[in-house]
Structure 1
Amino acid sequence: MVSTRSKANNHASPSATQAEAETGEKRSQPSSSSPTKNGRSPKKSKKEKEQDVAEKKEFEVAVQGQPTAETRKEENSVGEEGVKDEIAVSKDEGDENKVEDREDEVKREEKKESGEKDSDDEPRHGTLESGHIYFLYRPKVETEEAESLDDISKFHILLIPQSGKHSQGHYHRIIEVGKKKLPDPGAKHQVIWGLVGGVGEDKSTLKDSFGAYTYETKTRGTRHQAAARPAARGHYILHSPRDELADSPDHNRQRDYKTLLAYEITTPTHEDFGQVQKELGIEEKGAVVLQVKDPNAESRGNPRAAGIPRGKRAQYPQHLLDIFHNRRFIPSNPVSLIDYPGAELLIITSPHELHESLGKNGEKVEEDLDHSSAAEKVSMDDALKELGLSKKEFPEDALEGNWA
């Protein structure tokens, strides 16, 4: 029996028409489902659905030259289901990653509390950490607007790591800087003390640290402390240039791990750099050397570091204390040494050109710093938003080079 066709079959492919003529049989359209014994069709996988639609489409193209609108709709529907499945899988994987990140964070905290040694608690060379840096100052009590360094009560460096074990969440360190400014960039050797005043993992705590507040005194009554003013924002690296002596087993000592805090300012721009940044010792691109004091060593002579009571000094686990080897000050390497509130620091000038200070591969390290800084340029509004602050509470005048 030879099959007959309607006018719509004029678009059928010659090969399909010839095949049907030779067999003398009409192709039957594949069934979209196969019922089970109880009369119900089992739920098909995405792959099975795609195969059914493909067979159905192939049949319709062979018979009438193009698939029906219903088949096209079914094909699109299966595709959309696939996309939804992929999104669902991606979301699940993202949730799993968040859980894993949180688990890693908890494990690190447990290690920190128990004193267990972490893999990053060994001194090493190269770039140890990178992230966002802020410089902020706070006016004196009952002073709403600062006009010079004389009107400042405190000067802070805020580090927000974006790499290493603290890259997740909003981990931050607040470093209080003595003399209310950085060492003079032009000095050959100037030392200023610093103190890790706070370490946190929640952006909301920054408002508590830098926001305005009032307090009561017995003699003067209610006193008001104005909010801190951000003076600059940029990208930083903690970098330990390789000392060739450190390659020798006889010379592999902690002092060979000199550590620099190098930074490049992204806000304010070059045009807005003003008196505020100059008086605070902030350069558009600069570096200082960081050293940490043994909390068990008594302060003597000059500098005295922060000179805080023993009970408020950093509570290091034994494996970090062992790195000091009876030295009062050592480079801030590993970075874990500044993860403890109460860590006393020395902030020292780095008089050389930045690439020279960064060691053997200094030019490449500086190029990477330039690249990262260029990619992180943000507006003043974005800078305040990153800190969870508002213009109303935190005037942006300082980010424009003017005292506020």
Structure 2
Amino acid sequence: MATYVEKGDIYFFYRPKVNVEKVQGLDDVQRTYMVLAPDDGDAARLFVVGKKRMPKIPQGKPQSTAREWMMNDMTGKPKEIGKALAPLEYDTKTQGEQEQGEAIPVGEGRYAIFERNNSTRLAYRLSSPDKPGKAQRELGILAEASYIISVRNPELDVPGFPDSRPNYPKRLQEKFAEKRWIDIDDSKLLDYESAQFLLIGAHDALSEEEITLGGKPNLFKTLGLKKRNWPTEALEAGKLSEPQMEPETREPAGDPSKGGERGGKAARQTSSAAGVAHALKGVDFPCNKADLIKQAKANHANDDVIKVLNEFSQRQYETMADVQKAVGEVR
């Protein structure tokens, strides 16, 4: 019998490489993303999928040896995730002005994270497209699938995984003890940027998992995207397609999978959600408003960050996602 950790909507996106005119396969893809939007809570999570495709699950076999990592690239309000997937235009020192197209939706459905047979599983079932096509096959996205999922201990090195580390509070870090990997018994382990996970293919039929996945996802509404502006061939017909939107002029996000940080130095020196998160590095959740201000001052945060924190309500903050939500409420 499965014990559920959480349920929600799952969305898949791919972002083509810069200056690719025709997307023909995985080699033309820069990055593949998975978005988890839990039913309970106001935040969603954007994950980078390692090597750009989900682990292979041989048809009809009970479990695969194929495995892959994924990493939390961003946690925030669903509409903030939507903005992160939009196109952008930016300047580089070596190549001048560059355009990065929007991430293209390639799947939406429902997911569950649950405990079964002494392991944690991530399972999903697509509602769109009706039948996976070439776009989904290139990215290893099946009509339905389940994976054994474990979270990496950020204090231990793991060959082949990114160098970036999540800033887990003491309460969560203690769950690892000396273990390199642990099951996800607390969904908050998923919430921290740069948190890393191992996926191992389990089943290509959810009947094997004996779980239920009800509900109807709405990718565009949840992420605040205007459907008429986004390419939908991959999502609706399973066909690989190219970006079609006009980019905004803004700085590209850093690449945590290569040791960078989202937003760069400029963002970390402001009172934005990224700047506040940087100022609170090392804070021990759960905590209250006074604890947040104390930690920010200990980290020599600038006056703008302290001013934002002073406007927070007097309540308990469980995770950095709670803090980021509060930043949005007071700005």
Q: Percent identity?
A: 31
Q: Which structure 2 residues correspond to residues 64-83 of structure 1 after superposition, within 5 A?
A: none
The residue aligned with 1:152 is 29
User: Is 1:136 aligned to residue 8 of structure 2?
Assistant: no
| Greater relative contact order (Cα < 8 A, sep 6+) | 2
Q: How does 1:354-373 map to 2 (within 5 A)?
A: 354-356=206-208, 358=209, 362=210, 365=211, 368-369=212-213, 372=214
2:70 pairs with 1:194: yes
**In the TM superposition, what whole-angstrom CA distance separates every residue of 1:346-401 from its partner, at most 9, and x where no partner exists?**
11111475343x3xxx2xx2xx22xx1xx41x6xxx53233212245420011111
Q: Which residue of structure 1 lines up, in the alignment, with residue 55 of structure 2?
A: 183
CA distance in 2 between partners of 1:203 and 1:324 (Å): 29
SS at match of 1:142: coil
Residue 390 of structure 1 is matched in structure 2 by 226
Asked if the contact 1:143/1:225 (under 8 Å) is kept, the reply is no
Task: From 310, 316, 326, give the equivalent of 2:168.
Answer: 316
SS in 2 for 1:277: helix
Alignment of 1:107-126 (within 5 A): 126=3
Q: Partner residue of 1:41?
A: none
* 1:289–1:349 CA contact under 8 A, matched in 2: yes
* 1:229 aligned to which of 67, 84, 104: 104
* Distance in 1 between residues matched to 2:81 and 2:163, nearest whole Å: 23
CA distance in 2, matches of 1:277, 1:240: 27
Mapped pair 1:162 → 2:52: no
2:14 and 2:104 in contact (8 A); partners too? yes
The answer as to whether partners of 2:79 and 2:222 remain within 8 angstroms in 1 is no
Q: Deviations over 1:285-317 (max 9, x none)?
A: 1111211111111223xxx22x224xxx11111
| Paired residue type of 1:178 | G
User: Could you say which residue in structure 1 is the equivalent of 2:124?
Assistant: 263
> Which SS does the other structure have where 1:324 is aligned?
coil
- What's the counterpart of residue 345 of structure 1? 197
Structure 2 unaligned segments of length 5 or more: list them. Answer: 242-331
CA distance in 2, matches of 1:238, 1:194: 15
Aligned to 1:69: none
Whole-Å separation in 1 of the counterparts to 2:113 and 2:79: 25
Letter in 2 for 1:296: E
1:195–1:343 contact (8 Å) kept in structure 2: yes
More helix by share: 1
Tell me what 2:239 maps to. Answer: 402
Match of 2:275 in 1: none
Quote the residue 2:83 is aligned against.
208
2:46 corresponding residue in structure 1: 174
Match of 2:296 in 1: none
CA contact (8 A) 2:144 2:204 kept: no
Give distance in 2, aligned partners of 1:206 and 1:350.
28
Q: Distance in 2 between matches of 1:224 and 1:172?
A: 26
SS in 1 for 2:175: helix
How many residues matched? 236
8 Å CA contact 1:154, 1:180 repeated in 2: yes
Q: Distance in 1 between matches of 2:31 and 2:204?
A: 28
1:183–1:192 contact (8 Å) kept in structure 2: yes
Pick closer, same or farther for the CA change 1:277–1:352 going to 2, 3 Å.
closer
Encode CA deviations 1:20-61: one digit per residue, 9 max, x unaligned: xxxxxxxxxxxxxxxxxxxxxxxxxxxxxxxxxxxxxxxxxx
Distance 2:12 2:184 in 1: 20
**Matched-pair contact (CA < 8 Å) for 1:143–1:226:** no
Give the distance between the partners of 1:173 and 1:207, measured in 2 at CA. Answer: 11
**Alignment check: 8 A CA contact 1:181 1:279 kept:** yes
Deviation at 1:147, TM superposition (A): 1.9
Q: How far does residue 280 in structure 1 lie from its aligned partner after superposition?
A: 1.1
> Is the Cα contact below 8 Å between 2:107 and 2:126 reproduced in 1?
yes
Question: Which residue is 1:278 aligned to?
Answer: 137
Cα–Cα, structure 1 residues 145 and 212, in superposed 2: closer, same or farther, change >3 Å?
farther
Query: What does the per-residue CA deviation read over 1:142-185, in whole Å, with 9 as the maximum and x for residues that have no partner?
Result: 2254221111000011000013xx2xx3x101111011010012
When the two structures are superposed, what TM-score results if normalisation uses the length of structure 1?
Answer: 0.55
Partner-residue secondary structure (3-state), 2:71: strand
Tell me the CA shift for residue 132 of structure 1: 0.5
Unaligned runs of 5+ residues in structure 1 are 1-124, 244-255
CA contact (8 A) 1:190 1:349 kept: yes
